[in-house]
Amino acid sequence: MNKNQKIILILIILATALIVYTPHYSYPYPLHIDEWHHIAEAEKMDNGEYSSSQFSYRIGFQLILLFLSKFMNIVLAYKFFAASWATLTSLVLFYVIYKKTNNYLIAIISIIFFASLKSNVNLLGLWFFTPLTFSLPFIFLYMYFFDFGIKNQSKKYIIYSLLIMLILLPIHAVAVLFAFPILIIYSLFNIKFIKTEWKFFSLFLLVPLAGLIFYSSVSHLPLIESISTLFSDLQFKKGWGVLELSNSPLEVYSAIGYFLAIFGFCIICKNKEQRKEYLLYLIWPVILLLSIIFFRIFDVSYLSPYQRNAYYFAISLPFLSAFGLNYIISKINSPYSITERTKKILIIIISIITFILTFISYNSVPEQIGLYQLIDGEDYEVLSYLKQFNKSTVMAFPSLGSAMYAISNHDPVASLFFYGNRDDVNKFYTTSDCNIQQEILNKNNASLILSKEPLNCGWPLIQTRNSYFIYKNEA
């Protein structure tokens, strides 16, 4: 790359960071319930209160957050993580595509289309810093290393791919599981090499073996017994997610992006050499599209949930979209009778129109899966105030409960999804019967109560902060 190309790359990477940061401009706290959950679990590790559960399969990610929390107020710093990680992911994607194609323009266009990937609270995405987004650069790398290793019969690069997969297992196992069918089918096209080096490739049995050991440890099950349970857990039936929707393809990628991806796919398939060179990147979207269709028909997805497959399908498209657009640009640059000046004008016009159509609906999110803000500044101040009290369980609305432990280190009676009994909380705040309220507090061992209305049930008022009344249950 020359100096100008490096400057363009830096500017586009910075633009990607700014685009991903857009929902965080006016909101200083984590945007998704999953983000709050992972912060809370990291805090529990630090406080010696962590216990394995069905949510511990991302313990590696939570350990990373615990490490970061030693250097910063992680709740307030979290808004910067998504944009920072999108920057790194874009650089990795550029590296992979540039090395793969030796074409600067395809690589640079790829990261522009990658930046255009949309986010929502159902399918997640670049706006959030979660195990899904954390795994993205590693997915691009292990796919590239596996492809390069197979093509060049380089065991070193195949080992790189294997090591990345093993590292990802305790961080986000689905980021490895979804790729199994893709890599297996790709390997069948190179079966001669696989057969010759079958002893070496048997090392990949370490991935399911390590996954099984990890699953057995987290599930507190004997190794043999965990096998049947694992097979059951790898069937993601409809209803697995908090929201189960028939998502529109346009919720995650633009119409022009899809058109160019299909066009790029067809161009590659037409050329025998390109088809051979980019085979893995053709198999990738096809397998995931078939998985999505299978789920829509049979209401079940294997190895990885439908929601994750939808996003992993989307991240396979920027390269194909870039390939399609690059092909159009290359045809305009062909030695036709039009002048060089006219060619440049046409290329600029086509590029501008393409990228306007790509980003025009970037912030358009269906209302049902739009962003939500669990807390505001007053909530943060109240929860921070509670930190001075001895560890206890706090009665608060589930939205506040979702941020409770992450900020105050107190347990909520219930959060929106991960912890507790929301019915008890709703009943507490909707009844005016003090006896019923006291029974609910005793049942959940709640020592503190947060309310936006005064409660006249005899509980001592500790403090009034902003719009909150803080009571102590001494019963």
Helix or strand (DSSP H, E) at 300: strand 300-302
Across 65-98, b (16+ Cβ under 10 Å) vs e yields bbeebeeeebbeebbebbbebbbebbbbbbebbb
Residues 409 and 345 in one domain: no
Q: 64-70 long-range contacts, Cβ below 8 Å, gap at least 24?
A: 64/134, 64/171, 65/38, 65/39, 65/41, 66/42, 69/39, 69/42, 69/43
pLDDT at 57: 75
Mean pLDDT across 215-229: 68
Residues 381 and 344 in one domain: no
Mean pLDDT across 388-398: 91
Token match 């987290």: residue?
Answer: 218
- Which of helix, strand or coil describes residue 245? coil
- Which of helix, strand or coil describes residue 19? helix
Show which of 369, 401, 432 is a domain's final residue: 369
Among 4-18, 48-62, 242-256, where is mean pLDDT lowest?
48-62
Residues 152 and 87 in one domain: yes
Residues 132 and 24 in one domain: yes
Token match 């829509």: residue?
Answer: 296
Residues 315 and 454 in one domain: no
pLDDT at 85: 96
Length of the chain: 475
Cβ neighbours for 374, distance < 8 A, ≥ 6 positions apart: 29, 30, 33, 36, 399, 400, 402, 403, 416
Per-residue pLDDT at 94 exceeds 90: yes
pLDDT at 223: 65
Comparing 350 with 393, the larger pLDDT belongs to: 393
Mean pLDDT across 444-464: 89
203 falls in which pLDDT band (50, 70, 90)? confident
Residues 356 and 447 in one domain: no
Per-residue pLDDT at 114 exceeds 60: yes
Per-residue pLDDT at 229 exceeds 70: yes
Question: Helices 33-46 and 59-69 sit at what angle, rounded to 10 degrees?
Answer: 70
Residues 386 and 299 in one domain: no
Residues 324 and 431 in one domain: no
Comparing 322 with 225, the larger pLDDT belongs to: 322
> Whole-number mean pLDDT of the chain?
88
Residues 48 and 109 in one domain: yes
Residues 113 and 11 in one domain: yes
DSSP letter, residue 414: B
243 falls in which pLDDT band (50, 70, 90)? low
Taking a C-beta distance cutoff of 8 angstroms, is the pair 335, 127 a contact? no
pLDDT at 10: 92
Residue 219 domain boundaries: 3-369
Mean pLDDT across 411-415: 92
- Which of helix, strand or coil describes residue 388? coil
Per-residue pLDDT at 81 exceeds 90: yes
Show which of 321, 349, 369 is a domain's final residue: 369
Per-residue pLDDT at 213 exceeds 80: no
C-alpha–C-alpha distance, residues 422 and 150, integer Å: 52
Taking a C-beta distance cutoff of 8 angstroms, is the pair 25, 83 a contact? no
Show which of 353, 369, 385 is a domain's final residue: 369
Taking a C-beta distance cutoff of 8 angstroms, is the pair 56, 166 a contact? no
CATH code assigned at 437: 3.40.50.12610
54 falls in which pLDDT band (50, 70, 90)? low
pLDDT at 335: 66
55 falls in which pLDDT band (50, 70, 90)? low
Mean pLDDT across 282-294: 95
Both tokens of 3, joined, read 């100096």
Taking a C-beta distance cutoff of 8 angstroms, is the pair 59, 218 a contact? yes
User: What total number of domains does the chain contain?
Assistant: 2
pLDDT at 119: 93
118 falls in which pLDDT band (50, 70, 90)? very high
C-alpha–C-alpha distance, residues 149 and 127, integer Å: 33
Residues 49 and 186 in one domain: yes
Among 67-71, 294-298, 341-345, 405-409, where is mean pLDDT lowest?
341-345
What are the φ and ψ backbone dihedral angles of 377, each rounded to 5 degrees?
-60, -40
Residues 346 and 267 in one domain: yes
Per-residue pLDDT at 384 exceeds 70: yes
Among 42-51, 114-123, 322-331, 435-444, where is mean pLDDT lowest?
42-51
- Percent of the chain past pLDDT 70, that is, above it, reads 93
Per-residue pLDDT at 344 exceeds 60: yes
Cβ neighbours for 432, distance < 8 A, ≥ 6 positions apart: none
Cβ atoms within 10 Å of 234's Cβ, excluding its own: 17
Per-residue pLDDT at 146 exceeds 90: yes
Both tokens of 379, joined, read 């909530």
Comparing 160 with 464, the larger pLDDT belongs to: 160
pLDDT at 225: 67
pLDDT at 221: 66
- In DSSP terms, 412 is beta-bridged to 394
